[in-house]
Structure 1
Amino acid sequence: MIRIAFFIITNLAVVCALSLFLLFTHMSSHSIYVLVFSSMILGFTGSIISLLMSKWIAINSMGGKILKYPINEIEKWLTNKIKQQSELIGIKTPQILIYDSNDVNAFATGPNRNSSLIGLSTGLIKNMKSSEIEAVIAHEISHISNGDMVTMVLLQGIVNTFVIFISRFITHLVSGLIYGFNKSENSTLIKVMSYIMCTTMEIIFGILATIITMWFSRKREFYADEGSSKIVGKEKMIAALIRLKKFVPQKSNNLMSAFYINGDMKSIFSKLFMSHPSIERRISNLNKKK
């Protein structure tokens, strides 16, 4: 899912930048309370900045155009459908981004329910029937209505806090055992070694945290599918998923493939990092609903 990819990448960039500053100022080594507080500030800052920048990053990264004034029938139809569904759900109409890509993909992002954006690829518009596109739009509208980006921020902020806290706590403990807690604390060499040690652990714990984040994302996809079914009907959403199945990337070296709305990677390891459940599981979940 593109919105998740943008969110995680921006979050990691912000956290890494602030982490370097925090480590070299040695703020977090003086007391457990300062460590906890600084970890929370650092962890949630990255998530909040990612959320606030989400629309800007999506627009500038994907290219394409914001659909302000529809000039043809398909653009008029898309504008009307998104407006109708937004009014039905009770949210402000999202901005519409159409970007040039052969991938059959769509995403929703934005800091809140009334300041959001829905992106649609030209590949999706060309390869799906109008009823199927309607269901995909409803799926993204459900993400917005459910406040999934905000809940993602809260979750990511919490896991960031734990990753930063544990990494720095272990680094301080190991450095103290090796160099002594009160010896040569200002040594540049010790600071560099501590930074390398802390960064390594942040990467390891960050990977584990990403598994938690992706698990949460997969759960939210089921809710968005169910939300789409309530808006346009279960049959349309299932038809859209069946259509998406035809465009599953079978073999791809593209790191973004795990984020695709039609992602269906096979290995157990790769499934841990997928933002979406398999198409089969999503269809099965909908069929269980009345």
Structure 2
Amino acid sequence: MRRIALFIATNLAVLLLLSIVCRIFGIDQMAAARGYGGMGGLLAFAAVFGMGGAFISLALSKWIAKRSTGARVIAQPQNETERWLLDAVRRHAQAAGIGMPEVAIYDAPEMNAFATGMTKNSALVAVSSGLLQQMNREQVNAVLGHEIGHVANGDMVTLTLIQGVLNTLVILAARLVGRAVDSWLSGSSNNRGGGLGYFVVVMVLQVVFGLFASMIVAAFSRWREFRADAAGATFAGRGAMISALQRLQANHGASTLPGTIAAFGISGPLAEGLKALFMSHPPLDQRIAVLQGGARA
């Protein structure tokens, strides 16, 4: 659960940082003073920060993933395993109709893999050393098909769009309520924000609204796993994909992926109660049942 908490905290931290920057440099006050305090101007302001931040994160995703995991990109294969890995990814990419991704290996004891990148034709697919050591090639091949499915489905871009729209709504809603509270505290209906009450309310509401936004993002993240599993079954065979997911159950939710990219892993930790709303991955039992035709995604 700590990895999911870090993933959520990263997004909330971005929103809080934006609020502090706006406060320090008086961006909110300048916008109001120049006539941008209406709904249209406020929406544009929120969209620039909300969507802009999300797409900057996407643009940096490959660099962040490589640095945070220590992933080594296979430029020239050094052994037969690396040659096989490149060939397998190339076959899946050709079948999916996308450009050849960068392929990397990172050192981690658990079985895991992830895909990220700004476009379908400039992606990164990385697998852990633990996955290569603990799975047979049929299972690894299915995991690679799953990750290529994420790329071909445009999941990274879609997730970014959803996150950007939600960030925009969070920024917008927090400021509208902040203005109302600030006006009430100052006793003036013409107050457009900038007071202490406004700043405090915006900070608090961005955390609260951001939590609800994170639930929506997590719900999409869980749904896209079923689609990627279906892609893995198509590229590598249904039996191989089921076998790979069954093998992943030996992880027991373990993951050393940094919180910023934990949602991109092949599997994630489980949770119960309200915490389950923030899970980036559905339970492996449920994913296996869907592939076996015994449940719906």
The reply to whether TM is greater than 0.5 is yes
RMSD between aligned residues: 3.0
Query: d(CA) in 2 for partners of 1:217 and 1:73?
Result: 34
Shift of 1:89: 1.2
Q: Is the 8 A contact 1:225 1:237 kept in 2?
A: yes
Query: d(CA) in 1 for partners of 2:45 and 2:133?
Result: 49
SS of 1:202's partner is helix
TM-score normalised by length of structure 1: 0.88
Residue 47 (str. 1) matches residue 54 (str. 2): yes
Query: Which of 230, 240, 243 is residue 239 of structure 1 equivalent to?
Result: 243
Between 1 and 2, higher relative CO (CA 8 Å, sep ≥ 6) is seen in 2
Aligned equivalent of 1:35? 42
Call closer, same or farther: CA 1:5–1:265 in 2, change over 3 Å: closer
SS of 2:57's partner is helix
Call closer, same or farther: CA 1:243–1:48 in 2, change over 3 Å: same
Query: Which of 263, 270, 276 is residue 275 of structure 2 equivalent to?
Result: 270
Structure 1 unaligned blocks of 5 or more:
none
| Letter paired with 1:77 | W
Residue 20 (str. 1) matches residue 20 (str. 2): yes
Percent identity of paired positions between Structure 1 and Structure 2: 37
Give runs of aligned pairs for residues 6-155 of structure 1, distance below 5 A.
Answer: 12-23=12-23, 24-25=26-27, 26-27=29-30, 29=32, 30-155=37-162
Query: Which of 197, 202, 222 is residue 198 of structure 1 equivalent to?
Result: 202
| Letter paired with 1:49 | I
Query: d(CA) in 1 for partners of 2:202 and 2:226?
Result: 36
Call closer, same or farther: CA 1:267–1:257 in 2, change over 3 Å: farther
SS of 2:110's partner is coil
Query: d(CA) in 2 for partners of 1:51 and 1:146?
Result: 16
Query: d(CA) in 1 for partners of 2:120 and 2:261?
Result: 27
Structure 2 unaligned blocks of 5 or more:
none
Aligned length: 284
Q: Is the 8 A contact 2:71 2:126 kept in 1?
A: no
Query: d(CA) in 2 for partners of 1:251 and 1:104?
Result: 8
Shift of 1:182: 6.9
Shift of 1:104: 1.3
Shift of 1:10: 6.1
| Letter paired with 2:161 | L
TM-score normalised by length of structure 2: 0.86
Call closer, same or farther: CA 1:161–1:231 in 2, change over 3 Å: same
Q: Is the 8 A contact 2:108 2:128 kept in 1?
A: yes
Shift of 1:249: 2.8
Residue 164 (str. 1) matches residue 168 (str. 2): no
Shift of 1:210: 0.3
| Letter paired with 2:222 | R
